[in-house]
Amino acid sequence: MAEAKSVPVLFVSEPIVLPGMVVPIELDDAARAAVDAAQATPTGKLLIAPRLDDRYPTYGVIASIVQVGRIPGGGAAAVVRGESRAHIGSGTTGPGAALWVEVDEITAAEPTEDTKALAAEYKKLLLAMLQRREAWQIVDVVNKITDPSALADTAGYASYLSDVQKRQLLETEDVAARLQVLIEWTGDLLAEVEVNDKIAEDVRDGMEKTQKEFLLRQQLNAIRKELGEGEPDGSDDYRARVEAADLPEKVREAALREVGKLERSSEQSPEGGWIRTWLDTVLDLPWNTRTEDSTDLTAARDILDADHHGLDDVKDRIVEYLAVRSRRAQRGLQVVGGRGSGAVMVLAGPPGVGKTSLGESVARALGRKFVRVALGGVRDEAEIRGHRRTYVGALPGRIVRAIGEAGSMNPVVLLDEIDKVGSDYRGDPSAALLEVLDPAQNHTFRDHYLDLDLDLSDVVFLATANVIENIPSALLDRMELLQIDGYTEDDKVAIAREYLLPRQRDRAALTPEEVTVTDAALRKIAADYTREPGVRQFERLLAKALRKATTKLAASDEPLTIDEPDLVGYLGRPRFTPESAERTAVPGVATGLAVTGLGGDVLYIEAGSPGSEGVGESALILTGQLGDVMKESAQIALSYVRSHAEELGVDPAALNRKIHVHVPAGAVPKDGPSAGVTMVTALVSMATGRQVRSDVGMTGEVTLNGRVLPIGGVKQKLLAAQRAGLSTVFIPQRNEADLDDVPAEVLEALTVKPMTDVADIVAQALEPATEAATAAA
């Protein structure tokens, strides 16, 4: 640092002058006095310091006067060149009217390696900034600067730095410190400039793309116009389509409101696409389109009979529906729309009995369109009611889509597997079906996507289910239940002869002359190869036999006849043989009847005692994956037998030990109260040593007093008893009325005995006592 010297001072508000800068300064009286005083000195130097409002400046720049003259406006000005920093000391006196101060001139130290590195980094950033602004002349000047201090002081020209930042540079003596803050400021600004330039470029590209698309669309419209091809994608076209469409008044008003929104929205707005999709959906729905129902009841019944064997309850219900509508039409009463003019029925029964295929037959009989909606595994409530339009990819629900597919407002809609509907965090679809399947409400069904009232009251809804218990009670209450319990052996033979065999012959490219299947063979397949309530497995076996027959015909053209003895060669050995006699050949085993999701079935219940150990204990062991209700039935049965041991001919000591009750097929869950009488019979058989008759089956709930209470599924259980080869079946007295639904051929093959007291069932079900059995007891 040099010795202090006295120089005149010139205070300026702007610009902030740094060493190396050449700037013009407009002269007022005080500035003129300072310039004159400087010119009068031998050195011709003065101090330029920033004028501050809050404090006295401590640093300034010693400058030389380059030129004094006048600016174009007529005022006086001086051009000065900053030379070096100076620290301002105390004021002093000097010639003229100028203010003089003592200053210490600051000279830059020799640059270190660190300072040079910082200078190189700052120069790189500064050149990048200048190149972005295309200031090529300034780039050349900066490239020639090698002194780090001079390079740092060029920031005085930077328009992106504020006066405060420039004063900070002026007051920073250390070159390295100046370079560090300049690197930070310039780096931040460069990053901001790059982001702004990227945004501006994206906007420019977007505008260019939009203008290009607009031009191309205009050209495309002009080409279409020349070719005479129209494209209804504009709001004007939608308005014309809505006004020309046959829509209900409220739907038309809602559609025109949406067209108004479309007209006010821009082409680039995503809302325009949503509105177009919604309008297309509304215009595609058959709001006022209906098919005429058939009025020929005989022809309708013939169609149903031709497509399906049996199922008289369903056929009668459809013919009744047609009869009522036909009579109302003849008397001029309103039959289109309104509450309750449709029908909602659920066809419940085991698989393979023709529930799903019945829907198409009903539609043909009514003369209506048919559409199937598969509900198995559906877990999202929006699948029924649709999604809100605010969601991306929103669609109407399956009901609205079914109406659109059918093309009429009164189709037959088959809701397949309604008992397989699930629920999770997305809602419960069965709850959404409550309004759809309520004849008193579905004339104003509102889909979330459409948000318009849709009249479903004239739709015939047919639902199918395997297990009624899986349908929520509120939903089941809204539907008319039609139970399909399965086919008898004679039914299966007739179905195979009339429907299954001709269909499988066609698929195998065979004629009746080439392959003949006898009724005895069909009956053997139904009895010993398939024990199912329906005919699905039956048809598979027929297809297998005909495939093998086709293979034999390829080697020899001799006509084939498939009779009962030939089935082993075509289908292998029989899968089912009567086993009741074998299973009940020992005491403690009774044959019960049960209903599962696959129809009726026989259920063998075994009772035994694990030897003499544990005498005196009254434990009851239950196995076979039993539900709570069935476990309670076993406890009730044991309590009844113990309390009525003398009446039943049982030695009480035989029951004063561990009792084990087992229901085979342990991997299959079992539950329900209808095995109560069977458990009582099995326990008495075990305790007395008397076998249960092999031709006897039974079902019914039992009380602690021995009363036999009614159960469900009588028809299915009797069909299962017939398939199993039983001849006598005990049922509760209060289920006697259910025998009206059982086919006559089943009642002829079985002796059905309604009972009120379980003791009577035990007395008739057990074999007569023998001396050996009495001794064993």
Is 349 part of any known ligand binding site? yes
Tell me whether residue 537 is exposed, middle or buried, using C-beta atoms within 10 angstroms of its C-beta: 0 to 12, 13 to 18, 19 or more.
Answer: middle
Give the bridge partners for 755, in sequence order: 732
Q: Where are the domains of the chain?
A: 5-106, 113-193, 235-284, 297-483, 489-571, 580-776
Is 631 part of any known ligand binding site? no
Per-residue pLDDT, 230: 53
Residues 641/655, Cβ–Cβ less than 8 Å? yes
Name residue 595's amino acid: V
Per-residue pLDDT, 771: 42
Rounded to a whole number of angstroms, the distance between the first and last alpha carbons of the chain is: 129
pLDDT over 70, % of the chain: 93
Q: Is 544 a catalytic residue?
A: no
Is 148 part of any known ligand binding site? no
Query: Which tokens hold the place of 421?
Result: 């509907």
How many Å apart are CA 423 and CA 381, to the nearest integer? 8
CATH 3.30.230.10 assigned to domain 580-776? The reply is yes
Name residue 422's amino acid: G
Is 272 part of any known ligand binding site? no
Per-residue pLDDT, 370: 92
How many Å apart are CA 416 and CA 213, to the nearest integer? 47
Q: What are phi and psi of 435, to 5 degrees?
A: -75, -35
Which of 664, 681, 674 shows the shortest CA–CA distance to 582? 664
Burial 338-358 (b: 16+ CB within 10 A, else e): eeebbbbbbbbbbbbbbbbeb
Per-residue pLDDT, 527: 80
For the chain, the farthest-separated pair of C-alpha atoms sits apart, in whole angstroms, at 155
How many Å apart are CA 223 and CA 237, to the nearest integer? 18
How many Å apart are CA 107 and CA 115, to the nearest integer? 16
Per-residue pLDDT, 543: 92
Select which of 674, 685, 694, 715 is catalytic. 674
Is 354 part of any known ligand binding site? yes
Is 15 part of any known ligand binding site? no
Per-residue pLDDT, 668: 73
Per-residue pLDDT, 756: 92
Per-residue pLDDT, 339: 55
Q: Is 84 a catalytic residue?
A: no
Helix (H) or strand (E) holding 299: helix 297-307
Fold of 489-571: Helicase, Ruva Protein; domain 3 (1.10.8)
Q: What count of other Cβ atoms lies within 10 Å of the Cβ of residue 327?
A: 12
Is 356 part of any known ligand binding site? yes
Domain 5-106, architecture per CATH: Roll (2.30)
Which of 467, 159, 180 shows the shortest CA–CA distance to 169? 180
Which of 484, 452, 102, 486 shows the shortest CA–CA distance to 249? 452
Q: Residue 699 in 3-state DSSP?
A: coil
Question: Parallel, antiparallel, or unpaired for β 659-662 and 620-623?
Answer: parallel
How many Å apart are CA 217 and CA 211, to the nearest integer? 10
Which of 335, 674, 612, 317 shows the shortest CA–CA distance to 461? 317
Fold of 297-483: Rossmann fold (3.40.50)
How many Å apart are CA 361 and CA 364, to the nearest integer? 5
What averages of pLDDT result for each successive group of 10 residues across the chain (777 residues)? 76 86 86 85 87 83 88 82 87 78 84 86 84 78 83 83 86 86 86 85 80 78 69 63 86 87 73 84 88 84 85 84 81 58 82 84 88 86 82 84 89 90 77 84 85 86 87 88 81 88 90 89 85 85 91 85 88 77 80 80 86 56 86 90 87 82 78 86 89 90 91 86 87 90 85 91 85 44
How many Å apart are CA 34 and CA 412, to the nearest integer? 105
Per-residue pLDDT, 614: 47
Is 351 part of any known ligand binding site? yes
Question: Parallel, antiparallel, or unpaired for β 59-70 and 76-92?
Answer: antiparallel
